[in-house]
Structure 1
Amino acid sequence: MNLMKVEENLTSEIMCRTSRRKFTDEEITVEEEVKIVEILDRINEVRGLSFKAVANYGGEIFSGFGSYGLIRGCNSYIALIGETKEKKIEEKIGYYGEYLVLKLVQMGFGTCWIGATYDHKEIFEEISLDYGEKIYCLIAFGKVESQEKDGFEKLISVIGRKRKSIGDLFSNIDKIDETKKDWAVRGMEFVQKAPSAMNRQPWIFRENDGNITIASKENGGYEKIDMGIAMFHFEQGARNAGCEGEWKRRNGVWKFLVGEENEDTQI
């Protein structure tokens, strides 16, 4: 991982990953925990974040009233922590949080993004914050019995919303220059696989003066985190189709740019 973007190809993980909410009691091994901490250390050092892992003893935060019983059997999680005053912090949380989710999938874990459905009081028994820091989200993770969801997980999935079409997410994609069409469509196919709060898929992609831009509808305060997740997926999809681009912020707008080296406004 360099300073600007994730260089790894996580296509297969994006294609197979699905949210899991029921886990086994099989413990995370020491070797697995060491590998996870190494990944967190790289993210934290390179991007100035403070992600922290709790392995094998964090189940209390999912068993209290605030969890609503939506996560079962999970004893491990990662707290996605960042500075509240930092610009673009929520987009960064989404972008690098999703990278972390896919690395956990690569290691064979089930994963679930968690916004508010956990015991907020109990978590501070395990997680300490520096001044100005905030826990933005959690990633629950652990071993699962099989790749197929059980009845409980399928029920939760049914409650969620159906996936939107590319046209719903990118209404004027027909205006994209033909030289960009292949990788733009591939990027959107990957965006369709991206998780979001309540599965609302609030993303708004547009062609604007030759550039692809992203914005988001309001989504319970998680819209910018959702945006960071979608940006990661789009970037991976475009690369899968041969385009090496990345998201940069220009005049208050996130644009997907190709061949630009300026790091000042990167994710």
Structure 2
Amino acid sequence: MKPVFPVEKTIRERTSVRSYEPRALSTKEKDLFHDFIKTLNNPFSVNVNFRLLESSDAWKGEKLGTYGVIKGARDFIGASVPDTDLALEALGYSLEHLVLYAVALGYGTCWLGGTFDRSAFSHAMDLKKGDLFPVITPLGYPADKKRPMESVMRWAAKSDQRKEWKELFFSENFSSPLSKSDAGDFAYALEMTRLAPSAVNKQPWRVVKCQNAFHFYKAKTLKEGKNSVDLQRVDVGIAACHFGLAAAEKNLPGGFKKLPVPNINTSSELIYLFSWVLNS
């Protein structure tokens, strides 16, 4: 199904908004998002649970907080998944689709993976045992004036920089960069993938074009805590969303599938996750 918004325009307009007008969404606006959530799916057949939360939605009167990273926001979107295969990738895919929908309508969002009060948000999410709850995003009206701290945070996270094609996309193996001409009709989908947001802008996805498939790998570019959720898997799901929406917009053939690990030489830092397989 084709996206309900222009993919490239929306992706290029999306930016992390950290300062908001201090007003809540109306019931009509919330209903709009609830209705869109009902239409969301992901190619990994994982049930992603979304909740629209208000800043006052918390346990024992506790307010939802983001340690000063976000200012003014009154509404948030939380997303959780059962701990299954490709669950975090599915969450990234579905929530990014929702984020882009919000951006296309003129709302502000910002992926948050560590800078929010996880305890308070977890109570508001009403999680089931074993659920993974890695990220949230504020949802609201961007403030006209940004705080000085917001510019500093964008600079520190290198938010306006993206890796070059030769660092992300490969042909047959990881020694041969994929050219845009060799990517053919899929060059557009890969360029939209390159523009995807990620934790501290590490862009941990690598894609290898091999015969009739594009194989997606996670490159471990951040240290993982023993008990923390692997946010880089969420990031690869975000990138896959960009690829999938762009492919749907252009009617490109194929779909995402988990295959046996491809016979491609890799380092221990590269982990195969899934593939886009062209229709035969």
TM-score scaled to structure 2, two decimals?
0.78
Q: Which residue of 2 aligns with 1:207?
A: 209
1:249 aligns to 2:269 (yes or no) = no
Aligned equivalents of 2:125, 2:54: Cα separation in 1: 12
Counterpart in the other structure of 1:145:
143
CA RMSD of aligned residues (A): 2.7
Question: How far apart in 2 are the matches of 1:47 and 1:56?
Answer: 28
Q: Distance in 2 between matches of 1:56 and 1:228?
A: 27
Cα–Cα, structure 1 residues 181 and 36, in superposed 2: closer, same or farther, change >3 Å? same
Contact 2:197 2:238 in 1 (8 A): yes
- Please list every run of 5 or more consecutive structure 1 residues that lacks an aligned counterpart in the other structure: 261-267
Question: For 1:1-267, what aligned pairs fall within 5 Å after superposition?
Answer: 7-11=3-7, 12-43=9-40, 48-55=47-54, 57=56, 60-62=63-65, 67-84=66-83, 86-146=84-144, 151-161=148-158, 162-172=161-171, 181-218=183-220, 219=222, 220=224, 221-252=230-261, 253-259=273-279
- 4+ aligned runs moved over 6 Å, structure 1: none
* SS in structure 2 at match of 1:233: helix
Distance 2:236 2:254 in 1: 17
**Counterpart residue number, 2:264:** none
In the alignment, what sits opposite 1:265?
Answer: none
Give the counterpart letter for 2:275 in structure 1.
Answer: K
Query: Secondary structure of the residue that 2:258 maps to in structure 1?
Result: strand
Cα distance change of structure 1 residues 10 and 98 upon mapping to structure 2, 3 Å threshold: farther
Q: Distance in 1 between matches of 2:48 and 2:156?
A: 33
Which has the larger displacement, 230-239 or 29-38? 230-239
Conserved 8 A contact 2:166-2:178: no
Could you tell me which residue of structure 2 aligns to residue 263 of structure 1? Answer: none
Q: Percent identity?
A: 23
- Please say if residues 40 and 52 of structure 1, whose CA atoms lie closer than 8 Å, have aligned partners that are also in contact: no
Give the Cα–Cα distance (whole angstroms) in 2 for the partners of residues 193 and 230 of structure 1: 8
2:199 counterpart letter in structure 1: A
Contact 2:212 2:277 in 1 (8 A): no
Name the amino acid aligned to 1:48. Answer: N
Q: Give the superposition deviation at 1:106.
A: 2.1
Q: What is the deviation of 1:152?
A: 3.1
Q: How far 1:153 sits from its partner (Å)?
A: 2.3
* Preserved contact between residue 110 and residue 138 of structure 2 (Cα < 8 Å): yes
Query: Equivalents in 2 of 1:96, 1:239: separation in Å?
Result: 15
Mapped to 2, the partners of 1:118 and 1:224 lie a distance apart of 19
Cα distance in structure 2, aligned partners of 1:14 and 1:90: 21
Deviates more, 1:165-174 or 1:108-117: 165-174
In 1, Cα distance between the equivalents of 2:122 and 2:246?
37
Output one character per residue of 1:41-70: Cα deviation in whole Å (capped at 9) or x when no partner.
3337985221111135359332xxxx4422
Size of the alignment, in residue pairs?
A: 249
TM-score (norm 1): 0.82
